[in-house]
A and B are shown apart, each in its own frame.
Chain A
Amino acid sequence: MLPLSVQLHQLFTGFTFTFLLQAALSTLALAVAGCSCGLLVGLVVACLRRSRTLYLLPLRMVLVVFVELMRRIPFLVTLFLTLFVLQALGTNLSFFSIALIAVCLIATAYLAEIFRAGFDSVPQPQIDAAKTLNFSPLQILFTVMLPQSWKVVLPPAFSFMVSFIKDTALASQLGVVELTFAGKILITRGYSAFLIYGLVMLVYFALSWPLSLLGAWLEQCTQRAFNPTADAMPAGTTPITPALPNPALLDRR
């Protein structure tokens, strides 16, 4: 093994550095794609599951099966299933694209379920009131249901997304050179395992820490909306703090 000073020097110069950087970018791409797709499509799936329109019934059934199945099989199995299904269909996608698709499917299922629980937490009378006031379905979603679900949705959603960043490491099983796999390769090239895994750890941390901060900040914002500070209230009113759900109980994964 090379002396540590040489390792460090090599690590931060030229090829190795680019190699690690690219791997980190792959991890980031998988996580960002998964989370954005999950948030968007998950929201749509959760909305469709609530619709009562008769001709959407077959679609709703497919979505229920999709969500319940995806949350019950290991990520790794989903990954290989995606690979084999896409290969059987005769597509010629790169392993990275296949990993990307699998990651989107998984995040969609989990976040759809988190949104569903959030929507279910909105009392039906709130929705009835909005209906009698002629709110359109989209207005009910954006002005009543979503604002009232945030406090139930945000904690488990961010906890899912933060752990999802590290779960993208499973893409290495398809040969995608993401962060964890890149670390392994460098160790076989003679780098110190301590050095590399330490570095890999730091990068994972750097990727997920801002997300945790964002989540904490958003949670605070949504709580403030229901729970304005005392000085924002006129004198003589007693603040009645709505009971906040215990985040630990809400994390239903």
Chain B
Amino acid sequence: MPHLDINNLSCSYGSQPVLDGLSLSVEKGQVVSLIGGSGSGKSTLLRVIMGLTQPTGGSISIGEQAVDYGSAASVRAAREKIAIVFQQYNLFNNMSVLRNVMVTPTRVQKRDERKVRDEAMTLLSKVGLKDKANVYPAQLSGGQQQRVAISRALALQPQILLLDEITSALDPELVGEVLDSVRQLARDGMTMLLVSHEMRFVREVSDQVAMMDKGRIVEMAPPEQLFTQPQQPRTQAFMQKVAWH
């Protein structure tokens, strides 16, 4: 049984279809990477999974539980299991780093403040930011903010993590530190669906790589196969472009 199962999903902005009967499944503990050109609908897919954008058709299940995006309770239940990290970090500007990590477990999940604080500090030291706990996001570099955002997502103790181009807004020398945090998560067996343009990283960390184009998955295969012997013309063209970068 897949951990995250997406079936024939559609979504459109106005009359323009953005997701067009997309199907994809992620097994428990697997890392699946989405690659594809800009505007192919990768972010939209993650937004639909998180209940930020309404799908127009199809279904999504988490484990055995189908998510009903018309029902607030069902979306809440889904968000308890899935966390997302955005390209632009989206840390709360008005809260310190520690507060950003603690606010959801204490306020939303109503867990014990002292215990959450310990966990938050552990998460922050894992990403090397223990000494920045009382600093505000505006005072951190992009890479540091992104690692805080990962800690904030993990503080929810999610089963599945979605990562949307989390290194795209970073200066090249800061990319490594963020990817290291993701590698560690992959080793720990976190189920992940990630969007990335860091091809070397995708190749190294993924169990499956899915090529997306015009709101569909055109090809999905283990990284070695997809990168060395792409079957579809669209994937071949994409790989050629990437290889030149």
User: Which A residues lie at the B interface, using CB under 8 A?
Assistant: 125-126, 128-136, 139, 143-144, 147-148, 225-228, 232-234, 237-240, 242
A147 touches B94 (CB 8 A): yes
Q: Which 3 A-B pairs have the closest CB atoms?
A: A129-B90, A147-B94, A133-B104
B90/A126 in contact, CB under 8 A: yes
**Chain B, residue nearest A144 (CB):** B92
The contact sample of 8 A-B pairs, CB cut-off 8 A, is A125-B88, A126-B90, A128-B90, A135-B107, A144-B92, A228-B139, A234-B134, A238-B139
Contact between chains at B92 and A126 (CB < 8 Å)? yes
Residues of B within 8 A of A (CB): 47, 50-52, 76, 79-80, 83-84, 86, 88, 90-95, 103-104, 107-108, 131-132, 134-136, 138-140, 152, 156
Q: Are B107 and A139 neighbours in the complex by a CB distance under 8 Å? A: yes
A130's nearest neighbour on chain B, judged by CB, is B92
Output the residue of A129, A130, A147 with the most chain B CB within 10 A. Answer: A129
In the complex, which residues of chain A have a beta carbon less than 8 angstroms from the beta carbon of B90? 125-126, 128-129
- B91 proximity list for chain A (CB < 8 A): 129
Q: Is the CB of A226 within 8 A of B136?
A: yes
Asked if A242 contacts B138 (CB within 8 A), the reply is yes
Report whether B83 and A132 are in contact in the complex, using a CB–CB cutoff of 8 Å: yes
| CA–CA, A144 and B137, complex, Å | 14
Q: Which residues of the partner chain A approach B140 to less than 8 Å between Cβ atoms?
A: 237
Neighbour of A135 across the interface among B93, B95, B108, CB < 8 A = B108
Chain B residue nearest to A129 in the complex (CB): B90
| Complex: A1 Cα to B47 Cα, angstroms | 79
Partner of A133, one of B88, B132, B135, B156: B156
Give every chain B residue within 8 A of A125 (Cβ-Cβ): 86, 88, 90
Given contacts A133-B79, A133-B108, A134-B104, contact A128 B135 (CB under 8 A): no
> B93, A148: Cβ atoms under 8 Å?
yes
B108 touches A237 (CB 8 A): no
Assess the B92–A129 pair: CB atoms within 8 A: yes
